[in-house]
Amino acid sequence: MKTVRNIAAGFLLAAAAVSVGLACCGADRALDLMKYHAACVALAVLGAGALAAVVCPLVRISKSGAAGAGLLNSAAGALLHLGFFLVLTGWLVGLFFSPSEGSLRLRAGQVGSVAGEWNFALDDFAIDHWPDTGTVRQYTSKGRVLPPSEDRAPASEGERVVVAVNHPLVRKGWWVYQNSYQEMTNPHTGRPLYFTILLCVKDVGLPLVALGGVLLVVGALLWAARWTRQAETGGEATTLPPILRGLYALAFAGAVAMLVHRGLSTGHAPMQNMYEFLMCSAAFIPVLTWLELRGRRAPSSRTLLVDAALQTLILIPVAFFMDGRVKHLMPALQSPFFVPHVGAYVLGYIVLVRAALGVGRHLVGVGFFLLTVGLVLGATWGKVCWGHWWQFDPKEMWSLATWFVYAAYFHVRPRAMSRAEKAFLIAGAVMIVLTLTWINLSRLFTGMHSYA
């Protein structure tokens, strides 16, 4: 079993390295590379790794008859491995067996066919703007779903539907997205003439991917429940000067006040850019401190000192170097997934960075669970907004590499020396920092998340 776990950990670290390499290639190049080598990936991952990834944890449960923590750990590992197996399988099924994508370019009054299975008649296309800035708020196509035999039906016939960004139309397995639009000048009237551009996608492997995503979240939750039972250990507590406690409380109050003000002034959760992301992190750290002190799992002074330094010396000062201009949410960000997806990463990153600094290591499982939730919610949001649950976007791949590093950490943790365990946590924290800075801010890594 130890050999299997070592092989699994090595595979995860190799996958993290590959993910970083693909991120550096960019979304389009990475997708082309993965399509070209898809057969090799299928043989290597689904063939040789399937037994170790899916069967071994189940065999361990049946042989040991473990109860309590042992059973919980084995069940968590089995669900995570099976979930990852289903996600890869669903991706390959969709890659090889889904029909080709298509697009519709229509102006009001025209009808387009969706793979010959049904027709979409466009009645109206509208561009909504923010009144104060004039920037685009939403694109909306209003139309009707018609049988494939009807391409000139009266306006009173057909099911009326609306397609907008983050609001796709789903019919007969096809997802129709508001992709973009084209503006032209009417040669007869001289007025603007708008064409809506709709993307049509059918992914036959999506049910496997969806089931795999659910299993990943459940497995990560069980893993969090397993590892949070371990008590935190540390050195002697020392007295922290009251002035530091006061400054910590003052910084917390300032961060919360800023977030409340921005939320009220913009009408959306203040998680849009790096400035707001870091300030959200700074506001959440004292909550973790309070939970730690209340639970008495760590030396109070050490926890308070590390958290106060992380908040007041790193997060808040760095945040003020970022672009903090208040902006409206672009259409892609106007989604119910916005707050839970970004919020999961805010909480998860803070928990894991604290662990690398030697505070709250018993919460690493919670941090990994939050990373898993953020990853799955991001994939779901990508499917709803862009048409695909995975775009091989640089930030997607870098976040996946971070997830792989922590997954490898849990494979080796039961028998790792303290130095090796700390090295894994520091490596994961470095990946988090690079994701938030190098990938977010570098102009070299353009992709779907370039606005973040």
Question: pLDDT (tens digit, 9 = 90+) per residue, 84-123?
Answer: 888 888 888 888 888 988 999 999 888 999 988 899 999 9
Q: Which residue has the higher pLDDT, 217 or 435?
A: 217
The band of 141, judged by pLDDT with boundaries at 50, 70 and 90, is: very high
Q: Which residue has the higher pLDDT, 176 or 12?
A: 176
Cβ contacts of 141 within 8 Å, gap of 6 or more: 106, 122, 124, 125, 162, 163, 164, 178, 196, 198
- Closest Cα to residue 201, out of 302, 67, 98? 98
Residue 376, number of CB atoms within 10 A of its CB: 24
Q: What is the DSSP string of 279-348?
A: HHHHHHHHHHHHHHHHHT-S-HHHHHHHHHHIIIIIIHHHHTTS-----PPPGGG-STTHHHHHHHHHHH
Q: Is the pLDDT of residue 421 over 70?
A: yes
- For residue 383, being part of any structural domain is answered with yes
Domain-ending residue, one of 97, 115, 142: 97
**pTM, rounded to two decimals:** 0.89
Show the DSSP H helices in 178-273 as ranges: 206-227, 242-266
pLDDT in tens, 276-286: 888 899 889 88
The band of 442, judged by pLDDT with boundaries at 50, 70 and 90, is: low
- For residue 338, being part of any structural domain is answered with yes
CA 403, 407, 412 angle in degrees (round to 5)?
A: 150
The mean-pLDDT minimum among 16-25, 232-241, 318-327, 417-426 falls in 232-241
- For residue 209, being part of any structural domain is answered with no
- For residue 339, being part of any structural domain is answered with yes
Q: Is the pLDDT of residue 168 over 70?
A: yes
Cβ contacts of 176 within 8 Å, gap of 6 or more: 104, 114, 120, 163, 168, 169, 170, 198, 199, 200
Q: Is the pLDDT of residue 338 over 60?
A: yes
% residues pLDDT > 70 (the chain): 80
- Pair (344, 252) in one structural domain: yes
% residues pLDDT > 90 (the chain): 27
Q: Which domain, by its residues, includes 154? A: 102-201
Count of domains in the chain? Answer: 3
- For residue 397, being part of any structural domain is answered with yes
pLDDT (mean) for 8-26: 79
The band of 48, judged by pLDDT with boundaries at 50, 70 and 90, is: low
- Pair (114, 148) in one structural domain: yes
The mean-pLDDT minimum among 282-286, 307-311, 384-388, 442-446 falls in 442-446
What pLDDT does 376 receive? Answer: 96
What pLDDT does 416 receive? Answer: 61
Q: Which residue has the higher pLDDT, 413 or 365?
A: 365
- Pair (93, 108) in one structural domain: no
- Residue 318 amino acid letter: V
pLDDT (mean) for 298-323: 81
Alpha carbons 84 and 205: distance in angstroms, whole number: 14
Mutual angle of helices 418-434 and 338-356, in 10-degree steps: 140
- Inter-residue contact 390 to 396 (CB < 8 Å): yes
Domain-ending residue, one of 184, 201, 218: 201
- Pair (274, 388) in one structural domain: yes
- For residue 211, being part of any structural domain is answered with no
Domain-ending residue, one of 81, 97, 113: 97
Cβ contacts of 336 within 8 Å, gap of 6 or more: none
- Pair (73, 116) in one structural domain: no
- For residue 206, being part of any structural domain is answered with no
Alpha carbons 122 and 145: distance in angstroms, whole number: 9
What pLDDT does 8 receive? Answer: 73
pLDDT (mean) for 422-442: 82
The DSSP bridge pattern shows strands 118-129 and 192-201 to be unpaired
- Closest Cα to residue 208, out of 200, 216, 197, 219? 216
Q: Is the pLDDT of residue 39 over 50?
A: yes
- Pair (236, 372) in one structural domain: yes
Ramachandran assignment for 65, one of left (phi > 0), alpha (psi -120 to 50 degrees), beta (any other):
left
| Element at 182 (helix H, strand E) | strand 174-185
The mean-pLDDT minimum among 119-123, 154-158, 353-357, 386-390 falls in 154-158
Highest mean pLDDT among 129-133, 136-140, 213-217, 284-288: 213-217
Q: Which residue has the higher pLDDT, 68 or 364?
A: 364
- Pair (304, 419) in one structural domain: yes
What pLDDT does 157 receive? Answer: 76
Q: What is the mean pLDDT of the chain?
A: 81
Q: Tokens standing for 419? A: 């130095």
- Pair (124, 261) in one structural domain: no
- Closest Cα to residue 169, out of 161, 157, 179? 161
Q: Is the pLDDT of residue 418 over 60?
A: yes
- For residue 218, being part of any structural domain is answered with no
- Pair (72, 128) in one structural domain: no
- Pair (416, 431) in one structural domain: yes
For 167, which DSSP code?
A: B
Alpha carbons 385 and 443: distance in angstroms, whole number: 23
pLDDT in tens, 213-262: 999 999 999 888 877 765 454 444 455 567 777 778 888 888 888 888 88
Q: Is the pLDDT of residue 433 over 80?
A: yes
Q: Tokens standing for 104? A: 């519709």
Q: Given strand 111-114, what is the order of strands in its sheet?
A: 111-114, 118-129, 136-146, 159-164
> For residue 46, with 0-12 CB atoms within 10 Å meaning exposed, 13-18 middle and 19 or more buried, which class applies?
middle
pLDDT (mean) for 330-336: 89
What pLDDT does 235 receive? Answer: 46
What pLDDT does 132 receive? Answer: 80
- Pair (356, 326) in one structural domain: yes
CA 297, 223, 274 angle in degrees (round to 5)?
A: 75
- Pair (421, 303) in one structural domain: yes
pLDDT in tens, 360-410: 888 899 999 999 999 999 999 999 999 899 988 888 888 999 999 998 888
For 231, which DSSP code?
A: P
